[in-house]
Amino acid sequence: MTSLEPSIFSRIVAREIPATIVAETDNVIAFRDIAPQAPLHVVVTTKSQEYANVVELAAGDPALLAELVAVASQVAEELAPEGKTPGQFRLIFNTGPESGQTVFHVHAHVLAGTFKEGSLV
């Protein structure tokens, strides 16, 4: 499901909307979530909005998915919250509206610094 309208993330890529960008490659960009849910909460997305979700991306361009995961890992290494182990993080791809996905431009949430033992949510 791709839209002809630029997504909010495409507008961040184009620097039409300000964001705190923390990492960038030719194909992937990472920026602080505007409504953080954890001490570290970064959105990692593809610069292209060709793929709406991780399932489409994995099927269509697995190398790009691997690049996105590598950027997520780099961010978690470099920006670990105070007192937390660098490189330990949650990687969440909401997939579909009933999962909480609101932006249909594939992206991962990198979360670190809070973890409730035994809970996935």
Which residues are the active-site residues?
107
Closest distance between ligand 5GP and the C-beta of residue 49, in Å? Answer: 13
Using the minimum distance from each CB to ligand 5GP, give the nearer residue, 27 or 95. Answer: 95
Going from the C-alpha of 98 to that of each of 29, 30, 77, 94, 102, the distances in angstroms are 25, 24, 31, 9, 9
Using the minimum distance from each CB to ligand 5GP, give the nearer residue, 102 or 119. Answer: 102
> Angle CA(111)–CA(5)–CA(56) in degrees, nearest 5?
50
Which positions lie near ligand 5GP, rule CB under 6 A? 8, 17, 19, 31-35, 43, 94, 100-103
Using the minimum distance from each CB to ligand 5GP, give the nearer residue, 53 or 74. Answer: 53
| Strands annotated E in the chain | 21-24, 28-32, 40-46, 90-92, 107-112
